[in-house]
Amino acid sequence: MIDQTDIDTDEFYNREDLTLTEYQNAASSTAIYPASVQILYPTLGLAGEAGEVANKVKKIVRDGKLDRDGIAGELGDCLWYIAAVCRDLGLKMSDVAADNLAKLAKRKENNTLQGNGDNR
């Protein structure tokens, strides 16, 4: 179980075996915003951070340089907001991840990885 001491150490951030549940629980400790804006606030934040990822990728095209660490940081910001949206909706990130993998496996099995529509 992760506690604040773990979170405050660099070692925590370098763990290779961090589970989505551990991440979600730790991220929740910093997800501080009014209850009146639950779901909305982190969803808008997620959209903003996704834009930051896209902007850094755009700069690869513009400048010909890859800011891998910068993109990783923005992906982490996305992950934090995903954790917050999940929390606000009462979802476990591990369930969301597992369901997504199952959906994609079924699409692969059905040879429908490419195409349109959520239910294929």
Residues 71 and 57: beta-carbon distance below 8 Å: yes
Cβ nearer to Mg ion, comparing 49 with 88: 49
Q: Which residue stretch of 1-9, 23-31, 69-77, 112-120 sits at the interface with Mg ion (rule: CB under 5 A)?
A: 69-77
What is the distance of C-alpha 41 from the center of its chain? 15
List binders of Mg ion among 9-68 (CB under 5 A).
49, 52
Helix residue ranges per DSSP H, the chain: 4-7, 10-13, 20-28, 40-63, 68-89, 93-109
Q: By CB under 5 A, name the one of 77, 91, 94, 107 that touches Mg ion.
A: 77
Residue with the shortest CB distance to Mg ion = 77
Q: Retrieve residue 75's tokens.
A: 């992906």
Cβ nearer to Mg ion, comparing 67 with 77: 77
**Residue with tokens 């961090």, as numbered in its chain:** 18
Q: Which residues bind Mg ion (CB under 5 A)?
A: 49, 52, 74, 77
